[in-house]
Amino acid sequence: MQALRPRSAAAAWTERALKQPRQLVVDPIACDGHGLCAELFPERITLDDWGFPIVDPTPIPGSLERHARRAVADCPMRALRLGSRARPGQPAGRIRRS
């Protein structure tokens, strides 16, 4: 278990950002089919016949957020994240400072 840490501005921002409805996104190259995510978040993640996660892309409501965050945090390959899947033509929604 992680110890409680003092709330920094960044942590507060992250928490706020996580309150927006978001979807689970798998990095298919990083994922090695460990399968822990499907155990931790069976409401939205099932496994295919080869043990790789099939993720329901619908936005995650607040009631399921804790499970989603747990699945993200416990992925041994860090292959799961909460975010939005950027589409071509819509440059990814990352913050750029140029």
Q: Which stretch binds other proteins (CB under 8 A): 5-13, 16-24, 64-72, 87-95?
A: 87-95
Q: Which stretch binds other proteins (CB under 8 A): 1-9, 12-20, 50-58, 68-76?
A: 50-58
Closer Cβ to other proteins, 18 or 84, answer by number:
84
Q: What is the 3-state secondary structure (H, E, C) of the chain?
A: CCCCCCCCHHHHHHHHHHHCCEEEEECCCCCCCCCHHHHHCCCCEEECCCCCEEECCCCECHHHHHHHHHHHHHCCCCCEEEECCCCCCCCCCCCCCC
Q: Where do contacts with other proteins occur on this chain (CB under 8 A)?
A: 27-33, 48-52, 54, 86, 88-89, 91-92, 94, 96, 98
